[in-house]
Structure 1
């Protein structure tokens, strides 16, 4: 896949301020101009491919070479997202020490390099989406034929969705964040800071429009956006509205879930196949995914990070080949707070237990905590899909899938949302039991209406969606992330866990952005 080099317009203020040079150098690397690039539909499509790829690879060359911009650690978007969404939760124990332990122990501050990397990855993606949109206005595409204009408008809707996804990450992780769109000037512009409610309202309006403009899932090429993807993101936005200083949107969440559920999706029979190197074939359940392979999107992040990072380099009882990797990185282990949630017969409990104790008693002791086996680089017939030592994994990363939609519907129903089609409670129970029937292979794990509680849903989401980058968001929504009501190993840096300051519900705005833009204020407590 040819990928064109683009002008980085970024957070814009950051491209001009000397305080942002060095490790966080955001200056544009200009090798061509918009006038040269936006000359054909195929060129537009290649730029669009870059927008998608920006979530999983951080450069212009195989393996992330010729970086888009420099960050502290140089990790791609998804590796940064994994770090922030998984390491501070009850799911993952991280082995290697260093400043990353600030995430593990809930001790990060305004100078945290991992939060900073995520922030700049988000705004790089937003910036290139904005640049695409500036060059795909009705005026800009007026010289193309009628059929070409139709295609370019469709591309424009896709770019808007990808920008919305990045803005949702900014909202969910940082709360109050800069806002810039394609109508703002390039260079010498200080973006205003939107608060959580303003970002929520922007996303609500934007996604509602896009839901009408995007194609049906059945008419969409795999790993590209659709109406179903827009509705899935809307459902997630609405379910978390309370975290974003908005009023409850549980009935709206149910309505968005209904639109996805009636779009023709169905649960995959075999849970494990959703997370292997042939998971691009699981279009029955996967609504939208980031496409990962060992040729075009090679990186040490995304699913490579999950797969190689979950395999031990020291436990000789575990064979890396069983997961399709050349060797293990010994990065991740499962906390007992997670593994203890699974009942006997639950096939989602994909953990390697030999020579491993269940609970983490020492964060750096790689033999405490079971090893994850959920993600693999194996094809359906058990063959290794790529050489992860040199080319990374070939397993895609599902962003939305039907089981998550079912569980969101159930939670919204329990929180008081209603379905205009009726039978809200009965549907919620049926959807949860469909997920559990798949998990157990029969109805032995099904629950009754009396057992369907919010606490059950939080645990069920852990069982179904662990290592899928939703856990921090879930714990914040349930009020469990910072409180002492729910503890796990090393929460707050203590082996038994402890309550932590509520400021950790959000990550800090990087100090470099605060110094560059006088419109930006730091999140409370930092």
Structure 2
């Protein structure tokens, strides 16, 4: 982890990676300048360049936390990958609302965004840039490919490129497929082509990635490829109309059988190992054993107004004490809806005078209720409307504040693929006809629930296992981790009127919206520049 964090400090030296055209292929006049010729002179320098590919998911520019942004036209902190993933995959669902009035932001929960929306546009360019960085690295590193170390670096770059395309396919569907740095305007590919590319890349790099658990923390190994294949195949029917549930189950099982495991370490002695996953020391408190792929953050070395800094600060307001979360104040933005809170109805242990739940036996129900209303009357500028979420904190397992003593920036790493999700993938793939057996699926679910309850009092029987149960269990286990929109689309509930939540479609009781909202629009300025592209239907 320390090595990866040091990578962030040398990222500016690697900015020439985005300028790899023939007219720039020359030796520098200034002997002190550092170009891609130096970056790819040997395996050690190539390893430093690899850091930019990881850093592009965590950071926002060449200076940090603001200044010299990678992407212009949008607030730099907002442009960070996981912050935009939260905006597009959580704020558009029953899991979250935000009270801020930034242009384009209220449209996300109201589900009435357009092709010029800052957030849908910013995410497209962030992912396209990651593809560009990866393409450049792969091209330049090929000269050192006979070195086994560099071959593994290239496999990591191909994974990160496949991950970027996985996101592009999920969010936008029909995007250009570009595998090399080029000045030519790319042609548009369809979702089936992107799916096939991601699949083939992940299958091809399995043997080149390092073995399970043998890479440095923060870098991917072979299990990341299996985990992403599990996710890819689980969504295949939703995305390309072809069920691949047997493949989803098989790769879920392969990842489950690896060196990664569910975190059961209750390092802070509160009776639950679940909260350890989202604390400032989750790189070392046992949670790291569950993280198949995570974004690393450090309050001193990798400063950003996105990432978990955003998740912690933006979730604090009302009567909440920011010091308990290891930061210097709240941004009074993010809350949740009663639809998520109600997923924990089976474990309520206390109610307020109005009969609203305020305590739960399931430790995953991490809500702040003091002074917060259960119902949301208005979203804008009213933090106390809706329960607050206390899932992410910038304190370690002993309650100590993160490394930034000023309390501005957060150390907590953010899992993108973790073993608990793979357990849920297995169970869903089984129920959808992918094979396996009910006893195994039920056992995986009960492992998660035993962690949440601290004992077997929340366990289920195989007869309780159903697709609807799994969807609700995914909400309970994975909320605010960037998954919810994708899950609701797979279940046919994202746009339909068969499942409503507060202010879905912009009205308090919720309403159905147009089916084309299952995809986000390609950026309008991209369409105007590249005549090869056709806008997604409805925009």
Calculate the TM-score normalised by the size of structure 1. Answer: 0.90
Instruction: Name which of 320, 323, 326 aligns with 1:324.
Output: 326
Matched-pair contact (CA < 8 Å) for 1:63–1:299: yes
Question: What do the CA deviations read for 1:255-307 (whole angstroms, capped 9, x no partner)?
Answer: 10111111022211200000000111223211121111112221010111111
CA shift in 2, pair 1:240/1:11, >3 Å: farther
* 2:19 equivalent to 1:6: no
Instruction: Name which of 344, 349, 352 aligns with 2:368.
Output: 352
Q: Which runs of 4+ in 1 moved over 6 A?
A: none
* 2:425 equivalent to 1:408: yes
* 2:387 equivalent to 1:370: yes
The structural deviation recorded for 1:351 is: 0.7
Question: What do the CA deviations read for 1:68-107 (whole angstroms, capped 9, x no partner)?
Answer: 2313222222212211111101000111124211111001
The structural deviation recorded for 1:211 is: 1.8
Matched-pair contact (CA < 8 Å) for 2:91–2:97: yes
Which residue pairs with 1:456 in the alignment?
469
The structural deviation recorded for 1:335 is: 0.6
Question: What do the CA deviations read for 1:34-69 (whole angstroms, capped 9, x no partner)?
Answer: 224321222211110111000011111232432223
Secondary structure at 1:486's aligned position in 2? coil
Pairing of 1:480-499 with structure 2 (within 5 A): 480-499=493-512
* 2:228 equivalent to 1:233: yes
Pairing of 1:112-511 with structure 2 (within 5 A): 112-137=117-142, 140-141=143-144, 149-182=147-180, 186-187=182-183, 189-269=184-264, 270-281=273-284, 282-312=287-317, 315-316=318-319, 318-342=320-344, 343-344=346-347, 345-364=361-380, 365-387=382-404, 391-419=408-436, 424-511=437-524
Count of aligned pairs between the two proteins: 491
What is the RMSD of the two structures over their aligned residues, measured on CA atoms? Answer: 1.7
Secondary structure at 2:415's aligned position in 1? strand
Instruction: Name which of 69, 73, 79 aligns with 1:71.
Output: 73
Secondary structure at 1:88's aligned position in 2? coil
With 375-384 and 56-65 compared, the bigger mean Cα shift is at 56-65
Matched-pair contact (CA < 8 Å) for 1:211–1:230: yes
Which residue pairs with 2:111 in the alignment?
106
The structural deviation recorded for 1:468 is: 0.4
Secondary structure at 2:97's aligned position in 1? strand
1-structure distance, mates of 2:496, 2:19: 36
Which residue pairs with 1:16 in the alignment?
none
Q: Which runs of 5+ in 2 are unaligned?
A: 1-5, 22-32, 265-272, 348-360
Secondary structure at 1:399's aligned position in 2? strand
2-structure distance, mates of 1:69, 1:43: 25
Secondary structure at 1:178's aligned position in 2? coil
Which residue pairs with 2:352 in the alignment?
none
With 337-346 and 37-46 compared, the bigger mean Cα shift is at 37-46
Question: What do the CA deviations read for 1:159-205 (whole angstroms, capped 9, x no partner)?
Answer: 111111111110000011111012xx522x11121111111111111
Which residue pairs with 1:61 in the alignment?
63
2-structure distance, mates of 1:466, 1:116: 24
Which residue pairs with 2:24 in the alignment?
none
CA shift in 2, pair 1:8/1:46, >3 Å: closer
2-structure distance, mates of 1:384, 1:357: 29
Which residue pairs with 1:37 in the alignment?
39
2-structure distance, mates of 1:496, 1:413: 34
The structural deviation recorded for 1:10 is: 9.1
